[in-house]
Amino acid sequence: MESKWRKIWGLIGLLLLNFVNNVSSLSLTITKVDCVYEIVRSEGDIVSGNFVVVDHHIFWSSDHPGIDFSITSPGGGILHNLKGTSGDKFSFKAPRSGLYQFCFHNPLSTPETIAFYIHIGHIPNEHNLAKNEHLDPINVKIAELREALEAVTTEQKYLKARDAVHRRTNESTKTRVIGYTVGEYILLTIASVLQVVYIRRLFSKSVGYNRI
Amino acid sequence: MNEGMVFGGRAACFLPIILVLCLTRNSNILPVAEGIWLTIPSSGTKCVSEEIQSNVVVLGDYYVIDENNPDHIPTISARVTAPFGNNLHHNENATHGQFAFTTSESGNYLACFWKDGSFQKDSELTLGVDWKTGIAAKDWESVAKKEKIEGVELVLRRLQGIVETIRGNLIYLRDREADMREVSEATNARVAWFSIMSLGVCIAVSVLQIWYLKRYFVKKKLI
């Protein structure tokens, strides 16, 4: 009876160990190349995440080449390679445990701000336990439920970042519309006044000249 | 059932130990490698930031990772600033540190790290940063102790906390979308009005021009 209770508490403890939260949601300003590293504790963990380029040039040309993004596994192989993006989602099953590199490369010289979010999800399965321990299905189900909620959270972080970028574009459009229109009116008036002044001068000189 | 409860009571003394081991984040007893690792360049600072709303608990933990020379670990300095410039945390010449605060205003919170001048080497430094906000920063151990819940119930309580955070985030996103829709529609209406008005300004200005020049030429007896 005592061993059964011990097993239950041990399993719950193991379950709680899986809830050591591997989440990071941050913004980073990159100049040339910047890498973020994460440790994946056991193979088979699902690594999911997303990143959005926040400081995307709101300038004259929208033909910014974008940011290159790559994921490197601990063995050195490149798992994922994206060129010229302004934000993307990724999700993969870690083939082995170890240190994973998430690298952003900025081809231009101006610094860009990137908001990224990485989540490593672990669901306990038979492989992790010792031989005489028994896996309680409720723990697996709770872990799956937790991972589903984390997937929703990951998506929400992505939406938040994209919403921030969209809001900046919107505000910039609003300022531009007002600013450029008022400037256009003023320039139009100045141009027409200059035209009138020029015509006056033209005719006053030439009239005087013709009279003579 | 009685027997089970007695033994359960004895075995339950294991659980707080497990909880403490699992849930201590900021302890140096268990250097659990949580969070992300960043590289600090040999010159210059590395800053990470997050846009946080007001009234959110933020928990941060940073530690230098250097396997090359474990007896002389390089030191860094750290600074955490609030959106309007207040200094929330400042640390110099340290290999690890932690900070905790509750945000008073919503905005961009910045944590910057740079190498100390005392250990100037050309190599880059690896720094582990563990940054937790909101529900992830909640101290579940104290909740378990206070409300005397444990095991599956505690786990489900955590899941409920996550669900509530998700709902809060959805409401925030919905409100932001409503704001942006209003700005978009206002801009749309303004573009239409301003274009028509610029046509009107153009016509008015040219009519004024012609009227003025005609008057001028008549005055100068050219017409």
Nearest to A166 among B180, B187, B191 (CB): B180
Please indicate, yes or no, whether residues A117 and A56 belong to a single structural domain of this protein: yes
Domain residues for A197? 135-204
Please indicate, yes or no, whether residues A161 and A180 belong to a single structural domain of this protein: yes
Which of these, B141, B56, B19, B66, lies nearest to A25 by C-alpha position? Answer: B56
Domain boundary among A91, A125, A159: A125
Contact (CB<8Å) A12/B152: yes
Identify whether A105 is part of a domain. yes
pLDDT bucket at B9, cuts 50 / 70 / 90: very low
Among A181, A189, A198, pick the best mutation site for testing chain B contact (most B Cβ within 10 A). Answer: A181
Distance to chain B for A61, nearest Cα, Å? 21
Domain boundary among A103, A125, A147: A125
Residue A71 pLDDT > 60? yes
Identify whether A5 is part of a domain. no
Cα–Cα distance measured from residue B83 to residue B98, given in angstroms and rounded to the nearest whole number: 19
**CB B23 within 8 Å of CB A16:** yes
Q: Where are the domains of chain B?
A: 36-150, 152-222
Residue A164 pLDDT > 60? yes
As a whole-number percent, the residues of chain B with pLDDT over 90 amount to 33
Written as one string, the DSSP assignment of A2-23 is HHHHHHHHHHHHHHHHHTS--E
Q: Is the pTM of this model over 0.90?
A: no
Identify whether A9 is part of a domain. no
Please indicate, yes or no, whether residues A38 and A84 belong to a single structural domain of this protein: yes
Q: What is the mean pLDDT of chain A?
A: 82
Identify whether A42 is part of a domain. yes
Residue A184 pLDDT > 50? yes
pLDDT bucket at A25, cuts 50 / 70 / 90: confident
Cα–Cα distance measured from residue A174 to residue A39, given in angstroms and rounded to the nearest whole number: 44
As for how many domains chain A has, the answer is 2
Contact (CB<8Å) B186/A164: no
Please indicate, yes or no, whether residues A176 and A96 belong to a single structural domain of this protein: no
| Six token digits for residue A148 | 């589903």
Q: Does domain B36-150 have CATH number 2.40.50.140?
A: no
- Which residues make Cβ contacts (< 8 Å) with residue B111, sequence separation at least 6? B47, B48, B49, B60, B62, B78, B79, B80, B81, B89, B129, B131
Residue B218 pLDDT > 70? yes
Please indicate, yes or no, whether residues A102 and A194 belong to a single structural domain of this protein: no
Query: Is B223 or A14 the better-scoring residue by pLDDT?
Result: B223
Which of these, A91, A94, A89, lies nearest to A74 by C-alpha position? Answer: A94
The 3-state DSSP class for residue B35 equals: coil
Q: Which of A22-36, A104-118, A193-207, B31-45 has the highest mean pLDDT?
A: A104-118
Distance to chain B for A64, nearest Cα, Å? 23
Identify whether A4 is part of a domain. no
Radius of gyration of chain A (CA): 30
Contact (CB<8Å) A36/B22: no
- Which residues make Cβ contacts (< 8 Å) with residue A132, sequence separation at least 6? none
Please indicate, yes or no, whether residues A111 and A183 belong to a single structural domain of this protein: no
**CB B60 within 8 Å of CB B50:** no
Which of these, A53, A26, A29, lies nearest to A119 by C-alpha position? Answer: A26
Cα A3 → chain centroid: 48
Other CB atoms within 10 Å distance of the CB of residue A191: 11
Nearest to B159 among A145, A184, A204 (CB): A145
Please indicate, yes or no, whether residues A117 and A161 belong to a single structural domain of this protein: no
CATH number at residue A65: 2.60.120.680
Q: Which of A103-112, A132-141, A156-165 has the highest mean pLDDT?
A: A156-165
Reported ipTM: the value is 0.76
Comparing alpha-carbon positions, the chain B residue that sits nearest to A168 is B180
Please indicate, yes or no, whether residues A106 and A171 belong to a single structural domain of this protein: no
Please indicate, yes or no, whether residues A108 and A39 belong to a single structural domain of this protein: yes
| Six token digits for residue A6 | 């011990």
Domain boundary among A106, A125, A144: A125
| Six token digits for residue B89 | 């945390």
Residue B19 pLDDT > 50? no
Comparing alpha-carbon positions, the chain B residue that sits nearest to A99 is B37
Contacts of A45 in chain B (CB under 8 A): none
Q: Which pLDDT score is estimated for B16?
A: 45
Sheet strands (E) in chain A: 23-30, 33-40, 46-53, 67-72, 78-85, 87-93, 98-105, 112-121
Nearest to A35 among B10, B39, B155 (CB): B39
Which of these, B116, B66, B124, B60, lies nearest to B93 by C-alpha position? Answer: B116
Q: Which pLDDT score is estimated for A128?
A: 65
Identify whether A13 is part of a domain. no
